[in-house]
């Protein structure tokens, strides 16, 4: 029988679920396909993601979370209920306790929306924890000791940067520039430079398979298919790796600038600890080729990619569920610097 304590990484791009005693049991895209005529749910998760940009007029594939927060409350509730039932079954007698990860810069209104969406699914109790805390724990950092640790969590909708010590955030920044904005930057670049319209899925594939952000990063090229803006017909072009570096320059510079701001506001003793330990990169954005090398050059301190960056947040949530510290650490503090 499954435990009644469940950790959820409610991400803009993916939802991951950790069940106490069972580990990570679900990892699916945050997408819901709905028939607009009947208002019925057609698909959720990976099946719905396959429909992005490929649905007939009456079916819409929706990503209900944008920039790390709920953009469509009803669809988020449908999606969360679907994943909880997929994880633990449909028993109405089984009301789990949920710990949900949220961006560090989330507002009180956005916190309320997350709680209400979870409570509408019939859960017993909802705790919220900041993503950088969970990411740091999932990456193997001991944030409860009197020593500084720094994590840069680049998710789908937000990048959360935090320096932690004694189980809490010392200084932090949250900016709504992350994986989705990298995809958007690639779409805009291909449109401007090659007069070709491509979709989100194609841009994401380019980011994963070809893109690099370092001058001496990986090379190579890749064929890209889309719609020619001049003729309106399908067209294939060849894109080089160095073009992706140019496309991603602006959003990557914004993330690095925010990391510098956090370091500048860090107390000297903690900054010395970070220099010894280095910065830990987590989230899907950490997998962009050579991002760690570029950040190390810019910040002048070591930068390391976590062992499993995509799952760090949900793994950390699971570890907290097993930890005596969770009641104290799950309380959200007040102020976080927001960077637009």
Domain locations in the chain? 5-131, 179-247
| pLDDT value at 329 more than 70 | no
Q: Looking at the structure, give the CATH architecture of the domain made up of residues 179-247.
A: Alpha-Beta Complex (3.90)
Q: Which of 13, 336, 329, 12 is nearest to 174 (CA)?
A: 336
Interval 262-298: pLDDT, tens: 999 999 999 999 999 999 999 999 999 999 999 999 9
Residue 179 is predicted with a pLDDT of 94
Q: Following CA atoms 34, 40, 42, 48 in sequence, which dihedral angle do they give, to the nearest 10 degrees? A: 30
Q: Per-residue confidence at 322, pLDDT binned at 50, 70, 90?
A: confident
What pLDDT, on a 0 to 100 scale, did the predictor assign at position 324? Answer: 57
Strand 125-130 with 97-102, pairing: parallel
| Confidence check: pLDDT of 240 > 50 | yes
Please state, in angstroms and rounded to a whole number, the distance separating the CA atoms of residues 122 and 257: 42
Does the pLDDT of residue 332 top 60, yes or no? no
User: What's the pLDDT at 89?
Assistant: 72
pLDDT score recorded for residue 85: 85
pLDDT digits (tens, 9 = 90+) for 133-184: 999 999 999 999 999 999 999 999 999 999 999 989 999 999 999 999 999 9
Q: How far apart are CA 266 and CA 263, in angstroms?
A: 5
How many CA atoms are closer than 13 Å to the CA of 311, on its beta-carbon side?
Answer: 13
Are 273 and 99 within 8 A, CB to CB? Answer: no
pLDDT for 326 beyond 70: no
Average pLDDT over residues 251-272: 96
> pLDDT at position 49, please?
86
> Quick check: 191 pLDDT over 50?
yes
Question: Which of 69-83, 194-208, 252-266 is predicted least confidently?
Answer: 69-83
Gyration radius of the chain over CA positions: 20
CA atoms of 176 and 32, how far apart (whole Å): 22
Average of per-residue pLDDT across 252-256: 97
Give the domain 5-131 fold. Nucleotidyltransferase; domain 5 (3.30.420)
Distance of CA 103 to the CA centre of its chain: 9
Q: For residue 296, what is the enclosing H or E element?
A: helix 291-299
Report the b/e string of 297-332 with b at 16+ CB within 10 A: eebebebeebeebbbbbbbbbbbbbeeeebeebbeb
Return the higher-pLDDT residue of 143 and 325.
Answer: 143
**Would you say 236 and 202 are in contact if contact means Cβ atoms under 8 Å apart?**
no
Whole-prediction pTM: 0.88
Residues 7, 95: Cα–Cα separation, whole Å: 14
Tokens standing for 253?
């510079």
The helix (run of H) or strand (run of E) holding residue 245 is helix 241-264
**Tens digit of each residue's pLDDT (9 = 90 or more) over 94-144:** 678 889 998 887 888 888 888 888 888 878 788 899 999 999 999 999 999
Average confidence score pLDDT of the chain: 88
pLDDT at 91: 57
- Counting DSSP H helices and E strands in the chain, the numbers are 11, 19
CB neighbour list of residue 291: distance below 8 Å, 6 or more residues apart:
213, 214, 252, 281, 285, 305
Within 8 A by CB and 6+ apart from 224, the residues are: 190, 196, 198, 202, 206, 236, 237, 238, 239
Alpha helices in 172-227 (DSSP H): 179-194, 200-209
Percent of the chain with pLDDT over 70: 92
pLDDT at res. 325: 57
pLDDT at 27 over 60: yes
Which is nearest to 153 in space by CA: 259, 69, 31? 259
């Amino acid at each position: 029988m499954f435990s009644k304590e469940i950790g959820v990484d409610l991400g803009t791009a993916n939802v991951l679920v950790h069940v106490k005693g069972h580990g990570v049991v679900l990892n699916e895209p945050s997408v819901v396909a709905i028939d607009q005529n009947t208002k019925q749910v057609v698909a959720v998760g990976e099946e719905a993601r396959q429909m992005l940009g490929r649905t007939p007029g009456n079916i819409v594939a929706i990503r209900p979370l944008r920039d790390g927060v709920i953009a469509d409350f009803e669809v988020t509730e449908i999606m969360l209920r679907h994943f909880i039932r997929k994880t633990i079954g449909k028993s109405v007698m089984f009301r789990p306790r949920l710990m949900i990860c949220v961006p560090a810069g989330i507002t009180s209104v956005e916190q309320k929306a997350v709680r209400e969406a979870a409570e509408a699914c019939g859960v017993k109790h909802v705790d919220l924890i900041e993503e950088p805390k969970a990411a740091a724990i999932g990456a193997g950092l001991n944030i409860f000791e009197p020593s500084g640790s720094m994590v840069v969590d680049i998710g789908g909708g937000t990048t959360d940067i935090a320096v932690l010590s004694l189980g809490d955030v010392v200084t932090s920044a949250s900016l709504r520039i992350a994986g989705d904005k990298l995809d958007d930057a690639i779409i805009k670049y291909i449109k401007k430079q090659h007069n070709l319209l491509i979709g989100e899925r194609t841009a994401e594939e380019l980011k994963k398979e070809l893109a690099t952000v370092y001058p001496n990063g990986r090379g190579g090229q890749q064929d890209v298919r889309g719609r020619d803006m001049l003729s309106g017909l399908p067209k294939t072009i060849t894109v080089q790796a160095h073009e992706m570096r140019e496309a991603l320059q602006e959003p990557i510079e914004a993330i690095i600038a925010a990391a510098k701001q956090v370091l500048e506001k860090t107390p000297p003793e903690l900054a010395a600890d970070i220099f010894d330990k280095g910065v830990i990169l987590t989230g899907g954005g950490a997998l962009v080729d050579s991002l760690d090398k570029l950040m190390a050059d810019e910040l002048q301190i070591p930068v390391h990619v976590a062992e499993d960056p995509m799952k760090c947040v949900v793994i950390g949530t699971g570890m907290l569920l097993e930890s005596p510290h969770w009641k104290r650490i799950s309380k959200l503090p007040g102020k976080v610097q927001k960077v637009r």
